[in-house]
Amino acid sequence: MLRNTAYLEQVGEKHRKDHGQFFTHPKVANFMVHWVLGSGSKSIFDPAFGLGAFFDPVANEYGIQFSGCEIDPTILEFWKYTKHTRRHETNFIANEDYLLSWDKVSENIVCNPPYMRFQKFLNRDKVFRAFLEKLGLKLSGYTNTASAFLLKSISELDGSGRLAYIMPLEFLNTGYGTIVKRRLIEDGHLSSIISFACEKDVFPDVTTSVGVILYDASRFHTYVDFHTIKSVDLLSTVLEQAPVSRVPIDGLDPTSKWLPYFQPYTFTVSSKETVSLNYFGRFSRGIATGANEFFVLKPSVAKRLGIDNSELVPCISKSSQVKKPVLEDADCEALVKRDAPILLFSASTNHSKQAARYIQEGEQKGYHKRFLTKNRTPWYKTEHRDPSSLLLGVFSRGSYKIIRNRSKAINLTCFHGFQPNLFGMKYLDHLFLYLASASGREIASLSMRKYGDDLDKFEPNDLNGALVPSPKILDELTKEKIRNAILHIEKTGETPAEINYLFARLKEPA
């Protein structure tokens, strides 16, 4: 651990982030190395060597054949010349890009792959072409480097050994993760997945769920065990404990979400009485301005600038601005009176002189060169959206925020917004009550993505595939029941027992 600190002091935090470097906890490295050695093979390959966390547990063991590669020459040189490793030969680690180095075969593979979005990966196009050519896999543009490493490593096992990967587990609940999950189970070699509820002890800087993938190419498995541990100290004995879930491998659907297998759910959702939410309409992300400090104005600032009301749109820019479960125009007016940042600058190409001056001021400050703004024409023209009837909080801890929006305010990225189709327009209040109910929250939460520090996140596509009551169930709610239920929620903040009871029947015992 001291070596990690010394390295960071030398290269700085930016270098670490640019290379997606997250250092492996010694207890995790020791567990992973000795699990793969349980195959009986004494050969280990590490595709992302870093500071040698997986080499350390076997550095002094006789007969271990360790090899690896590392793309970053800086970290490799640092490792070579630390006192800890100076006594060892170092030519068994190649300085090369693993994702562009093909046609190798390994017995055991152990890895903590670099983690970064492919949008920030310099060799992205070359890597995509290589995966298509070598493996016949067309990677999604949302795939991260860790998932690409895992796919490549699985393809390089010779069938006599094992693979252990520590990596973010978000791919278990994402669309781009489908190709990874399919590859993990298609040959029947996936043994276990271990999720760390103590992810901050493993990777202090992460904001995503973390876990270990255990893949045994030397044998076939009929079940996959899903474990959760609350302390790194429990990792050494986790495989001796009963898993949270034991799922038949032929019952795992790569297109479904797997993170719920780490939760001891005691119910299933009735397929006869539910439909996907996109039956009624769709959630989409809020407006991304690319520079809220320019585009979102306080009323006092807009008045000082002389910007006309026709070039301003009321907007919800922060989740904290909405305190009540039902948002009315009167609530937005109250925010205006408090001079909250609630006005979106939305000028057309034929804008006023006052808007032109403000745009020029923005260009002087470089707002037109931001990642999003530089790709817009003109840069100051934001997306046009109608107000969304339902607003659902993107991030949450414990319980998500659902809002019935009856105001003219549009939403920025703090909320996802629901736009009904023609059929769904009559069910907006019904869906609000369902998403606010106890059972609705439990069922919708099955579509959440789990991140670090108990942080949950919804993506629009996850929400649109979530299960909701069929029209037959929703039609049981009369107008009077709906009106009384919403008034009760506004008054108490709680969903009436009658509503909770209605939707509880969608849950069946597991």
Q: What per-residue confidence (pLDDT) applies to 60?
A: 80
DSSP for 309-348 reads: GGGEEEEE--GGG--SSEE-HHHHHHHHHTT-S-EEE---
Spell out the residues 6+ positions from residue 416 whose beta carbon is closer than 8 angstroms to its own. 283, 284, 285, 286, 391, 392, 394, 458, 460, 463
Whole-angstrom Cα distance, residue 121 to residue 127?
Answer: 10
Q: Kindly tell me if the per-residue pLDDT of 375 is higher than 80.
A: yes
The token pair that represents 286 in the structure block:
């809020």
The residue among 356, 382, 408 that closes a domain is 382
Mean pLDDT across the chain, nearest whole number? Answer: 89
**Domain count across the chain:** 3
Spell out the residues 6+ positions from residue 493 whose beta carbon is closer than 8 angstroms to its own. 325
Q: Are residues 500 and 434 in the same domain?
A: yes
Render pLDDT for 240-252 as a digit per residue (tens, 0 to 9). Answer: 999 999 999 998 9
Q: Are residues 229 and 295 in the same domain?
A: no
The residue among 382, 415, 435 that closes a domain is 382
Which residue pairs from 116-120 have beta carbons closer than 8 angstroms and sit at least 24 positions apart in sequence? 116/19, 116/20, 116/144, 116/145, 117/142, 117/144, 117/145, 118/142, 118/143, 118/144, 118/145, 118/148
Q: Are residues 219 and 347 in the same domain?
A: no
Q: Kindly tell me if the per-residue pLDDT of 467 is higher than 90.
A: yes
Q: What per-residue confidence (pLDDT) applies to 120?
A: 62
Q: Are residues 210 and 101 in the same domain?
A: yes
128, containing H or E segment: helix 124-135
Identify the three-state secondary structure at position 395.
Answer: strand
Task: Go through 95-128 and write b for each residue having 16 or more CB atoms within 10 A of its CB, e for each that does not.
Answer: eeebbeeeeeebbbbbbbbbbbebeebeebeebb
Q: Which of 305, 389, 394 minimizes the C-alpha distance to 352?
A: 305
Q: What per-residue confidence (pLDDT) applies to 115?
A: 85
The token pair that represents 498 in the structure block:
């009658």
Spell out the residues 6+ positions from residue 193 whose beta carbon is closer than 8 angstroms to its own. 169, 172, 211, 212, 213, 214, 224, 225, 226, 227, 258, 261
Render pLDDT for 420-463 as a digit per residue (tens, 0 to 9). Answer: 999 999 999 999 999 999 999 989 988 877 666 667 888 898 89
Q: Are residues 393 and 498 in the same domain?
A: yes
Q: Kindly tell me if the per-residue pLDDT of 342 is higher than 80.
A: yes
Render pLDDT for 155-172 as a digit per residue (tens, 0 to 9). Answer: 999 999 999 999 989 899
The token pair that represents 506 in the structure block:
């969608």
- Where does the pLDDT of residue 45 fall: very low under 50, low under 70, confident under 90, or very high at 90 and above? very high
Q: Which domain holds residue 151?
A: 2-262
| CB-based contact 37:30 (threshold 8 Å) | no
Displacement of CA 215 from its chain's centroid (Å): 23
Question: What's the average model confidence in pLDDT over 132-155?
Answer: 91
Bridge pairing between strands 223-229 and 190-196: parallel
Instruction: Write the DSSP symbol of residue 208.
Output: S
Identify the three-state secondary structure at position 375.
Answer: helix
Q: Are residues 425 and 481 in the same domain?
A: yes
E strand residue ranges, 328-464 = 343-345, 390-393, 395-396, 402-405, 410-411, 415-420, 449-450, 456-457
Q: What per-residue confidence (pLDDT) applies to 85?
A: 47
Q: Are residues 188 and 331 in the same domain?
A: no
Whole-angstrom Cα distance, residue 441 to residue 501?
Answer: 13
Q: What per-residue confidence (pLDDT) applies to 510?
A: 65
Q: Kindly tell me if the per-residue pLDDT of 83 is higher than 60.
A: no
Spell out the residues 6+ positions from residue 401 whose beta carbon is closer than 8 angstroms to its own. 319, 322, 391, 392, 393, 415
Identify the three-state secondary structure at position 222.
Answer: coil
Q: Kindly tell me if the per-residue pLDDT of 89 is higher than 70.
A: no
Q: Are residues 188 and 203 in the same domain?
A: yes
Q: Are residues 283 and 330 in the same domain?
A: no
Whole-number percent of the chain with pLDDT over 70: 92
Spell out the residues 6+ positions from residue 246 whose beta carbon is closer than 8 angstroms to its own. 223, 224, 225, 226
Look up the CATH number of the domain holding residue 49: 3.40.50.150
Q: Kindly tell me if the per-residue pLDDT of 86 is higher than 50.
A: no
Q: Kindly tell me if the per-residue pLDDT of 263 is higher than 90.
A: no
Question: What's the average model confidence in pLDDT over 103-112?
Answer: 95
Render pLDDT for 384-431 as a digit per residue (tens, 0 to 9). Answer: 999 999 999 998 877 899 999 999 999 999 999 999 999 999 999 999
How far apart, in Å, are the Cα atoms of 267 and each of 20, 224, 276, 454, 507? 38, 20, 18, 22, 6
Q: Are residues 326 and 392 in the same domain?
A: no
Q: What per-residue confidence (pLDDT) applies to 161?
A: 96
Q: Looking at 7-16, 35-44, 55-64, 294-303, which range is the least confident one?
A: 7-16
The token pair that represents 311 in the structure block:
């070039």
Omega of the bond leading into 378 within 30 degrees of 0 (cis): yes
Look up the CATH number of the domain holding residue 434: 3.90.220
Q: Are residues 248 and 278 in the same domain?
A: no
Instruction: Write the DSSP symbol of residue 97.
Output: -
- Where does the pLDDT of residue 87 fall: very low under 50, low under 70, confident under 90, or very high at 90 and above? very low
Instruction: Write the DSSP symbol of residue 117.
Output: B
The residue among 382, 404, 437 that closes a domain is 382
Q: Are residues 279 and 296 in the same domain?
A: no
Q: Whose structure tokens read 């104005």? A: 297
| Phi, psi of 83, rounded to the nearest 5 degrees | -60, -30
Q: Kindly tell me if the per-residue pLDDT of 52 is higher than 90.
A: no
The token pair that represents 447 in the structure block:
């579509």
Q: Kindly tell me if the per-residue pLDDT of 236 is higher than 70.
A: yes
